[in-house]
Structure 1
Amino acid sequence: MKKPEQVHIAAHLLKWTAITVPVALTVGSLVAFFLWSLDEVTQLRQQRPWLLYLLPVAGLLIYALYRYLGKNAEAGNNLIMNEIHEPGGGVPLRMAPLVLATTIITHLFGGSAGREGTAVQIGGSLAGQLGKWFRLGKEDVRIILTTGIAAGFGAVFGTPVTGAVFALEVLTVGRISHKALLPCLMASVLADVTCSAWQIQHTHYHIAINEVISSTVDFIHFDFWLLLKVIGGGVCFGMAGYLFSTLSHTIKKYSGQFIPVKWLIPFVGGIVIIALTALLGTDDYLGLGVTNPDPDGVSIVSSFREGGAGYWSWCWKLLFTAITLGMGFKGGEVTPLFFIGAALGNTIALLTGAPVDLMAGLGFIAVFAGATNTPIACTIMGVELFGGEYVLYYAVACFTAYYFSGHTGIYAAQRMQSKT
């Protein structure tokens, strides 16, 4: 007698629950340690500005660590994504400690980078090792690596649903596979809970514009003119995502061509960051940029209020980050993309008369959507971070940014949906 389909589903869920739990607990705990370490070194750098002048030396150290210990681990997120597409050599366990250490070094000495890449690599590396221990087949290796991405992303930003959807959406542009749907959700939720259990606090953002959003037509439940501004903003956000992706890849390509001695690339990159900081006379564009100890400084949080960012703050953060990551330093791109988007949204709001906090929030998620080709995940992120009341505006901004960013993205291993 053939077993009911529900029996197979239950067995599948039990199997992946047993596999996912250790992945999520381990990744969530390591991400908590990483976020704590990041806060500590960020405070240390802000208290000792002279550390920036050691950034070129830090670049040499990062190069040496990957040169002699990293092997294929330097491919980072792209290696994990390639292994999901075509399981082969596996994701080395050494990727986790290497990227954690080198990201901390980057932030300690003032590099402009994020944290998502590190969390995803921690998740993918540990998941890959567990896959080897469990002796999983190729199809199951794809799933466990995807759960590692979900766990790392969900824990590092405190957005578990986004983490699950991002892990599925980022692999192939235009297609989401449901094979790893529940394992990814379980991994992301449990990793986020684990990270929070270690008393890690995520930054809270707030959009409060109820009195501004209104319509003079009874059957239209949104502000039509504001929606037009959001569409225009979405175009700008998509172009910013395209610019960031293109510039990062270009700097990486041509720095390798014009600087034949490879260890000099991060050294020169560090010097360029120092020079730009001296030229601008501010350190606002170093590090994560989530908050700023200077009440007059620019940060993601400050961009949610009027006057909290300059007209070109977004452009400077884009340049600093593209140089940092394109010339060999480690970290993620996503938090700088949040900065770029929020600061650009602040500028657009001032130019168009749109609510500053709403437009900053839209830029926050939409530039990320454009640069990673993940508009659905980013719309959900808007709900998780800012609340669901303005979800229509989130979707319009993210979907518009996705279309106007083209098919260029920050992940070289991201594939296009095959035409049938």
Structure 2
Amino acid sequence: MAAETVFTYAAPGLKFGPGASAELAHDLAALGCRRVLLVTDPGVLATGAPERIVDLLRAGGVDVEVYADVHVEPTDRSLQDAVEHARVLSRVDGVVAVGGGSSIDTAKAVNLMLCAPGELMDYVNAPIGNGQAPPTDLLPLVAVPTTTGTGAESTTVCVLDVLARKVKTGISHARLRPTLAVIDPELTMSQPAGVTASAGMDILCHALESYTARPYATFERKRADERVPYCGANPISDMWAERAMSLLAQSFRRAVTDGGDVGARTDMALAATFAGLGFGNAGVHVPHANAYPVAGQVREFRAEGYPGDGPLVPHGMSVAMTAPESFRFTYSANPDRHVRAAELLAPGVRCDDAVDLLPTALTELMRDIGLPSGLAELGFGADDVPALVEGSLAQPRLLSISPRPVEADDLATIFSRSMQNW
């Protein structure tokens, strides 16, 4: 088996800085867009940001239709509702997403299904869906994040809950990547502390997982037409991940405790962008694979700060719950890299055994920013471990990027030890 010698890197166009969203009419005109669908959710709509953007676009000669019923943590049903809404419009030539990962991922699904034949599940990753590739290029998609965390503005992935299967999965293809990411830190200033904490852990796990991912050169060599966007850790993704961790180390706690700290908010927005540029090419592994069943199988817990009702474990929170134990498991694959990550995240961290450095840095941060102490606080117990393991094993695309082979027993141990992180 020949080893891979090539890694790939791709990213959206990027515009970053306070006030960047005020230039959207210019950006859309440059993409040839004169009639667009703006996708957002009720919570973001209530901030007034989408309305201001609509007014700016219309003043700049862009015709705008608004879909504001995005479901936080999208499901196959909510995505289909958005697609059906978009299909009844007269033709649009672009899509604009304003919001967090839920709005951006919903916009990706809408864009896909406006251009591609068949049903949504045709494109959902196997084995949950059919895993088909979009057969054609999509419309220009401009992503305007209002939270600092998901990195969805940089990635090729649309994440969703499949309700009948009680599992979270995704659609992944290079054509889903937004054409342009417009990151305006001013749009994140109203983000509640709990949302900042959860979304920030998503940033951190993006950076850590891409940094500790299986190196690209350890995969079997592929033909050019077989290569996927997630190619494993590589020199370019490493650079982005390291910079994201450094920014988080200096600003994450401040952003949670003082939401009005413009410098901390700007650092978090930049860290989210950098981490997205890294993991959008290297990929993520065990914590994200575990997060999908955690979010999909929750029964009663609902995080504060999110609109709507019913059970909800936000994505970043679900990723964080098993992160300390996941990195304890992956440590042996590359001890130096795990130690380096701990030093970047928590300079001066000390432990008797180096394997504990990164888990300790993570649990101390999670406790400081007010996250639940573990899966038990979300309502899970020992009897839930088999179903959680099954849900994680349904994410082979992610588990294949783990720096160590992951078996069911390994996942069971990680889930069991994550019931109480401190």
| TM-score interval, normalised by the smaller of the two chains | 0.3 to 0.5
Structure with higher strand content: 2
TM-score by length of 2: 0.32
Structure with higher helix content: 1
TM-score by length of 1: 0.32
Structure number with greater CO (CA < 8 Å, separation at least 6) is 1
Bigger Cα Rg: 1
